[in-house]
Chains A and B, each alone.
Chain A
């Protein structure tokens, strides 16, 4: 089926600590978006909010961000998972023909939390993992990293190279929170060891951030912008919760999600057809791991690809030219920021992060320990 829904505008912000309130952040993002497009809140037919109550520290966290998002006596619902999924839901709503415009807003003040990792601890089975107190998101990722590099016989240096590339891109991007000047693989390798083989700079930084997008039907999109970014494909999938039963060196759910998105978009050879990828890799090794699952990189070819600069901004298939989630990870917003960053590329607005040819992009968001759930979108101009 043809989707014919476009992204017509975006706003995003992130910082280690935005020193702001949730309400002010939402207001600035959405008011900014309305101003960019010359519209008012009443021009938004439906809104999908995305925040996590545990991260927000409030039960039913959408209640208080409705008004600053302009949702007063209007339609709204909330997706509570990575906001790439909220884009998919908003798109579904437009596809019914019932709405012409749909806004997606995601916020998370993860960086300014006193305990940024508590959110993921509370996702664990309360009758087992939470009582045994051994598993957390970072050590699970360390197992995944070990499994991945052992599988293909890579050296741990690969992790440093991946992180250095992402962080160098992030340093160029005003939307990112972790911007380190003069980053090198050696500096990554000198950062604090967390869980072997993962060091601090291989891991996402807990970050404050938010992002707002406006989607529109084909008719409305042409009214609102002369640079629409079309949603061409979408897919989601889920795998088992049980870490000890997964092949950690691969991501079956990312592969299934991508397959669904490519099928809708008519993409047959992603590695050849896709111009740019924005992947929610929360840890350095997840970038090639997920890129393989999404058909963007050959299995076992990661060392070669990074050594040859294939994924760099000027490379054959740039991955995370924005700097990705190693530059900012406001929980649940990260996938939405990937969508916005891809739109930024496709509209030629990416400044120092701009890749040369950007006509077809793939974006990705994830939830759960070791990316138990994945969402993939294909965007194009």
Chain B
């Protein structure tokens, strides 16, 4: 990588990708805690350009939807109507502005985290890898220096914390950043909701540190539209005895890339990953997950599901890293894809790096169509072919949808899934 001078990005000598150049040129001077780290990220982004399919990490993922987005910070418009807040949920709307994060009455057990500490937590969660070109989603987010929602969590938090962003039909890029520090034995249920109804890019970085015995039940519901892009890195660091349970559901985006990355810093933790991505039309959905065990006795249970229709493309890469120190790791990964059209495409790949010898690492992948015998069974009971297919599809998705908090269903309702164009 080019060693870029720590000045403004415009001063970088090498030819900069025009989209990246335009984005950088429009950014305000970095303010806040560490302007030098923002400048470093901008320089690194200028040097990296856009992710390319020549890079192994982006081999199957066409990034041209990114270049179709106006390369400037998105100006938040009038807030779109959101469904009413469910009982037992506390909602925070993220619009990229620091002011929006002020004056929130947090539930018992949650308090804001100081900037300095939030930076430190995020640094630990992202690790050193954050500077690499393959970490483009982090790089572009860092370069825009978004307002940080930093929270400390103590004890068992009663309400479900709902973090909602809606880029709507606005043009531009919406960077969001959330940092959570779960103190020992803390328990939190978090539901992230990302919506878009137009050609814009939502860039999300979430860092969460789970100290010993902490539990984070984490749901992500992401509903976009043709032309909208979502890039999300979920960087989690787990201490022994902690439990992270993630369920993600994405549909409708022109391009969505989800990157759950977890490090079990000393093993002995539980990680449960559940994801469902639906693609149709020309959509691309890509999940690149990475789980690393830096100590013994860790557990992973991963299920990735896909429904691919139209000319949709789905990519899954599931890395599991088990170094020598990670003896007695128990990991399983299953990727299941349902192809509903001849023109849809699924690329799925486990990536196991196992050095320790006393481990159990199971993995598997299936790609199939709707099961003929299941369809026939339903039809033989008078249920029409289309209705039978719909029931089977919903049943297939239910395995993941059922892991979200019950109230997440409102975000799946048709009136809100199509974005703000529906009243």
A and B together in one complex: no
B interface residues, Cβ below 8 angstroms from A: none
